[in-house]
């Protein structure tokens, strides 16, 4: 189960695209990067962040701790920026937050940042499995903190849930976008990573991860399905995606062969 914290102080906006996440202090005195349910990407981005992030953690990646953050709209009553006040007002109740890593920097090959073959291969496998299109050299979404890698920002993953009617096409997708992955040049052990990943993502692990998604978020997805039906839909996708894993694994191996 994820922890729940109460936001007590709005500290600083992080103006990234249209999502406008923010650094917020909570009642446990910790600082968190909050992704707001009232932002442009909506609930689906929060669901993707939660599910994909926890899958990454289950694989052994250093995803910052994910927590639920209770937001009181009054949090922004003294905020002079109208856009921020509006966002907080549109995001009452449960939102999603990640532990803030002070002093971290974005992974940048141009700055001579590198990754081990083992870790790069596992991140590549993870992003191909969850179909995350947002781990490119232009936008790595990988923090370097104390010389270690921390994958963040998974709201662009699981894009099948934007179009449930065509989910079948996504299940066996080789995910050609993996050729743009920032860590692909270091991912020399994709087959070994696949063996590790398949062993860790058991049905019980996936069920526990998907079980963390609040019912109210699942019921907010257009289509009129119940939370239980949506949960079953996510699990069906992941089980079948794993069964078809050789397709995206081989695509990643081919893509890397074109890089080296």
Q: Could you read off the pLDDT of 32-55 as tens digits, one per residue?
A: 999 999 998 889 999 999 999 999
pLDDT of res. 40: 83
Cα–Cα distance for residue pair 255/51, rounded to 1 Å: 26
pTM for this one? 0.96
pLDDT of res. 17: 54
Nearest alpha carbon to residue 235 among 166, 160, 173, 126: 160
* 94 contacts: CB under 8 Å, gap ≥ 6: 4, 37, 68, 69, 70, 214, 216, 217
pLDDT of res. 16: 62
pLDDT at 118 over 80: yes
pLDDT of res. 7: 97
Q: Taking the CA atoms of the chain, what radius of gyration do you get in angstroms?
A: 18
pLDDT of res. 74: 87
Residue whose entry in the numeric block shows the structure tokens 């856009």: 83
Mean pLDDT across 222-247:
96
pLDDT of res. 30: 97
pLDDT at 201 over 60: yes
Q: How does residue 236 score in pLDDT terms, banded at 50, 70 and 90?
A: very high
Hey, where are the domains in the chain?
4-99, 105-257
Q: How does residue 18 score in pLDDT terms, banded at 50, 70 and 90?
A: low
Residue-wise pLDDT for 241-258, tens only, equals: 999 999 999 999 999 998
- Span of 47-56, 164-173, 195-204, 231-240 with lowest mean pLDDT: 164-173
Long-range residue pairs from 29-32, CB within 8 A, at least 24 positions apart, any chain? 30/5, 30/99, 30/100, 31/99, 31/100, 31/102, 32/5, 32/7, 32/67, 32/69, 32/97, 32/98, 32/99, 32/100
- Span of 40-44, 69-73, 102-106 with lowest mean pLDDT: 40-44
């Amino acid at each position: 189960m994820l922890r729940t914290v109460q936001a007590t102080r709005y500290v600083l906006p992080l103006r990234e695209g249209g999502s406008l996440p923010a650094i917020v202090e909570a009642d446990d005195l910790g600082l968190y990067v909050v992704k707001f349910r009232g932002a442009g990407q909506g609930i689906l981005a929060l669901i993707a962040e939660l599910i994909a992030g926890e899958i990454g953690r289950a694989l052994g990646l250093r995803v910052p701790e994910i927590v639920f953050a209770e937001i009181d709209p009054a949090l922004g009553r003294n905020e002079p920026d109208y856009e921020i006040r509006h966002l907080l007002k549109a995001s009452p109740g449960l939102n999603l937050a990640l532990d803030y890593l002070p002093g971290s920097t974005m992974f940048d090959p141009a700055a001579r940042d590198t990754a081990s073959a083992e870790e790069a291969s596992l991140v590549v496998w993870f992003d191909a499995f969850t179909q995350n299109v947002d781990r490119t050299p232009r936008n790595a979404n990988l923090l370097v903190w104390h010389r270690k890698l921390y994958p963040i920002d998974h709201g662009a993953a699981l894009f099948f849930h934007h179009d449930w009617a065509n989910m079948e096409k996504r299940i066996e997708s080789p995910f050609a976008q993996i050729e743009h992955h920032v860590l692909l040049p270091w991912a020399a052990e994709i087959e070994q990573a696949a063996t590790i990943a398949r062993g860790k993502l058991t049905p019980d692990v996936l069920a526990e991860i998907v079980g963390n998604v609040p019912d109210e978020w699942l019921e907010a997805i257009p289509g009129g399905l119940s939370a239980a039906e949506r949960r079953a839909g996510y699990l069906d996708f992941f089980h079948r995606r794993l069964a078809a894993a050789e397709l995206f694994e081989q695509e990643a191996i081919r893509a890397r062969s074109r890089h080296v």
